[in-house]
Each structure stands twice: as structure tokens, then as C-alpha cells.
Amino acid sequence: MAKELTSRGENYSQWYNDLVVKADLAENSVVRGCMVIKPYGYALWEKMQAELDRMFKETGHVNAYFPLFIPKSFFSREASHVEGFAKECAVVTHYRLKNNPAGGGVVVDPDARLEEELIVRPTSETIIWNTYKNWIQSYRDLPILCNQWANVVRWEMRTRLFLRTAEFLWQEGHTAHASAEEALAETERMINVYADFAENFMALPVIKGAKSENERFAGALQTYTIEALMQDGKALQSGTSHFLGQNFAKAFDVRFATQEGKEDFVWATSWGVSTRLIGALIMAHSDDNGLVLPPKLAPYQVVIVPIYKNNEQLSEISTVVNGILAKLKAAGITAKYDSADNKKPGWKFAEYELKGVPVRLALGARDLENGTIEVARRDTLSKETVPLDGIDTHVKKLLDDIQVSIFNKAAQFRAENTTKVDSWDEFKDVLQNRGGFLLAHWDGTAETEQRIKEETKATIRCIPFDSQPESGRCVFTGRPSERRVLFAQAY
């Protein structure tokens, strides 16, 4: 292969870093912690955005845009929010540069200091609720169902491409409701949208559940999450939806006249997914040859490579390929024809394997004679030669099959790496030797959760919605417990 990848077995973490860079998804920029999302990576994000945006609109949401900057004082308004977010932030203190009087470039103009510092948004609850205050007077103004596609900044000390970066792209939904019930229903609706997207587009099986109090969003009464399992046995939180109660309405004094003629504070939710999903996608499905992308999100689903000895052959092949391209397009399949003649077919095969193109078609002179074409699928690396006639139908079926196969493979991996544990020794043993998801009893206290984290780095990923009532004893303290919760080490 042209570009060597570290194998997963050798060093999973290095494999991931290599893959992101070598598959041209993203790279680190000169600005600490900020990434450059390269065209191939951005194309993947655009596909994700398009589906999510459609799903948000189908569930009644509209997009809007709120300021990048938040006045510093806003972070002090909601008590727990300040603890969670007003810490590692980018702080704007000045609004002008000037030529260095000593020569050699520009310096910050000390006369252009802001009266109040501005924070580059780490999340937008505060500025949005300050805005909603003017939008809401009566129950007739509710619900407000806004989403925003935006960049946010959290000054993370240790960053990794897509998984944790200082600046990242995301969407943040912020809704306002007349009752707690309606807000809770919205919180649940959106975690279901995320789970639907993860499973049916990313081919990523996820466990839906509620966060423990320790792991809740700063300012939330309830945080729902979808948790996915990566190939190294670690969990990745892939999307969250928060029931914020009346906390932000109280912090920003957002009241409304109820239908009954009384006055009440407005109920809130917020929910978001980010470019982190790209990291999840990579780590869940890809292999030592490169990316494995689900067809529904692949920037192009098919690549066609001509095998030829001379220009005459290339010309004949290209004529046939153009017919195939037209048929694929008509079937709604995105395809790329790579007839570049400064690269050999073997190089191209490796390159598109690295980039995770779901289906590769190769067409040579002998195929033309025989009326056949070679079809290779990226997920299984298997090849077959099929009749050229009906290739569009064949590819369409194959893409559907690949989408399902990738999901099933990940689901099987998760099933094999989810363990019920009933003692503390077993908990530690499984975590150390197998990793994965652990279903264990927990006494429900924050203290126990904290101690388990300190001893094992495992956290409660969620209390799964589908966990059945079951009497048991906390693996750590032996105190009584009513249901198992999901533990794992996590990204």
C-alpha cells in the first residue's frame, strides 16, 4: 500500500491518528487544538448534516443563528452552568490591533480593551435564553423549536482530531416549552432522532439511556445520551439531549402567561451532536486497510477504475463507464470515475480502500470482451465478477447489503463485548482484560460512582432506557440496587 497504516492490534490510538490524516479527513492546524477539516472529511460531515437537518425539520424544528460571543457575566447567571462551562474558554479582551511602534508587525492596541470580556461560545444556552426572553410573552409564543449549526470552542488541554478539539462544529437545539411534560417529551424525541441517525445512517448500534447525576450537562435536570462501543472496547458518547427544567428561564427571567392566565417560567431543552460523530464512525467500523464507510454517508459510494494498456483501450472502457455512470446516477448512487493515468490501478485500489469507498468497480479489456465487470466490496474485501448488464441493480442491492452488514458486524461486536458482572473482582478483571460494556449493579450514589472511576477509570455511561428492574447488590459497596447500569471506560 502507498500509505502504511499502523495496525489496530499494534497501537489502536496510533492507527486512529494515522487513518484520520492519511485518509485525508482532517489534520492538526498551526493553532493549538484546532483542526483543519479536509475536503473528504468535510464531505462526510455534509452528508451527516443533510440527514440530521432533514430529521430535525421533519420533527418540527427550524434553524436560526445566534452570536459567536457571549458576555462574560452571562456565565455567572446559572450556578451549575458556570462550573461546567465558564472555565476553559477563549476570552476576547480587545478589539483592535495596531502597527507596532517599534516596527515588525502588529500588536494589540491597549486602548482597545473591551469593557466586558467576551467569551467565544462553548455552548449557547445563556445567549439564547437571553434572546428568548424577548420572544416569549405568552403560551401562544410556545413552543420555540430552534436549532443552530455552528462552531464552538472549549479550550481542551489534550486534543485528538474529531474526538476532542478546541474548536469543533456541531448543532445545538434549544427549545422552549409551556410545561415540563412537553419539554421532557422533546428531550426524549431528540435522543430518539439521534439514535435513529446513528443506527440507520452511521450503521452504529447505540444504547439509549439517562446519565447519572455526576455526568449530567451543567445546568440540566436530566441528560439523555446515546453510547456506542468502539473496537478497542471503549465507549464513545455520541449525542446528548438535556432536560433543563426552568433553570435557564430563571437565570434569564423568561416568564410567560399560561393558558390559565397565570405566570410561569418557561421549560427548556437542549441537544447536540458534533464532528465527534466522525471519530465514532471511524473507530467503530474501520480496519487495518483504512476507512470502512456506511454507504448512506460515504462521500461517494462507488469508484470505477479502468484497467488498460493503451489509450485506445482506455477510450473503449471510458465509453462503457460513461454508460454505467449515467445508470448509477439515475439510481441515486454517487460514483467517481478515476481515469487518471499517472497512477497505477494497484495504487488506486489501495487509495480507495484507505478512503473507505463502499464499492469498487474495475473494468478491463477482457471484461469488455466478456461483458463482465469486477465488483469489490470494501467491508468484506471480497471480489466477484458479474455481468455488466444490470450492474446498476447489482450495485444498488450491494450497497443496501453493505449498510446492513456493517451495522450487524458492529452489533455483534458489541454483543460479544458486553458483560454482566456481579462482583468487584469480576468488574476489574473484565475491564482490564476484555474492556467493553459492563452491566453491573450500582447503589445509586455519586460517591460510589466517583470511587469506581478513580479506581478503574470506568464511568457510568448511562442507565439504559431498556434496563429491566432486577434486584441485586452494588458491585462496589454491596448495597442494594434495583437495576443494572452501563459502565465502560470512555473517550
Is 104 a binding residue for its own copies by CB under 8 A? The answer is: yes
C-alpha cell read off for 197? 441517525
Contact 284, 277 (CB under 8 A): no
What is the radius of gyration, based on Cα positions, of the chain? 26
Kind of pairing between the strands at 418-420 and 437-441: parallel
Please report which helix (H) or strand (E) contains residue 56, including its range.
helix 39-58
Contact 391, 38 (CB under 8 A): no
Stretch that binds its own copies, among 33-41, 204-212, 230-238, 303-311 (CB under 8 A): 33-41
Is 44 a binding residue for its own copies by CB under 8 A? The answer is: no
Which parts of 163-202 interact with its own copies (CB under 8 A)? 167, 169
Indicate the residue among 118 and 333 with the shorter CB distance to its own copies.
118
Among 127, 97, 90, which residue's Cα sits nearest to residue 113? 97
Least separation in angstroms between residue 250's CB and its own copies is: 17
Distance separating alpha carbons of residues 285 and 230, to the nearest angstrom:
8
Kind of pairing between the strands at 437-441 and 480-481: unpaired
Residue 457 CA neighbour count, 13 Å, CB half: 9
Distance separating alpha carbons of residues 397 and 179, to the nearest angstrom:
46
Indicate the residue among 70 and 191 with the shorter CB distance to its own copies.
70
Indicate the residue among 76 and 315 with the shorter CB distance to its own copies.
76
Residue 172 CA neighbour count, 13 Å, CB half: 20
Is 289 a binding residue for its own copies by CB under 8 A? The answer is: no
Is 70 a binding residue for its own copies by CB under 8 A? The answer is: yes
| Contact pick of 7, 17, 29, 445 for its own copies (by CB under 8 A) | 29
Is 474 a binding residue for its own copies by CB under 8 A? The answer is: no
| Contact pick of 1, 82, 314, 411 for its own copies (by CB under 8 A) | 82
Question: Going by C-beta distance under 8 Å and a sequence separation of 6 or more, which residues neighbour residue 306?
Answer: 314, 317, 318, 321, 337, 339, 345, 362, 363, 364
Least separation in angstroms between residue 68's CB and its own copies is: 5
Which parts of 318-357 interact with its own copies (CB under 8 A)? 342
| Contact pick of 6, 12, 17, 38 for its own copies (by CB under 8 A) | 38
Is 365 a binding residue for its own copies by CB under 8 A? The answer is: no
Which parts of 118-157 interact with its own copies (CB under 8 A)? 118-120, 127, 130-131, 134, 140, 146, 150-151, 153, 155
Binding positions for its own copies, rule: CB under 8 A: 27, 29-31, 34-39, 42-43, 45-46, 62-73, 75-76, 82, 86-99, 104-106, 108, 117-120, 127, 130-131, 134, 140, 146, 150-151, 153, 155, 167, 169, 342
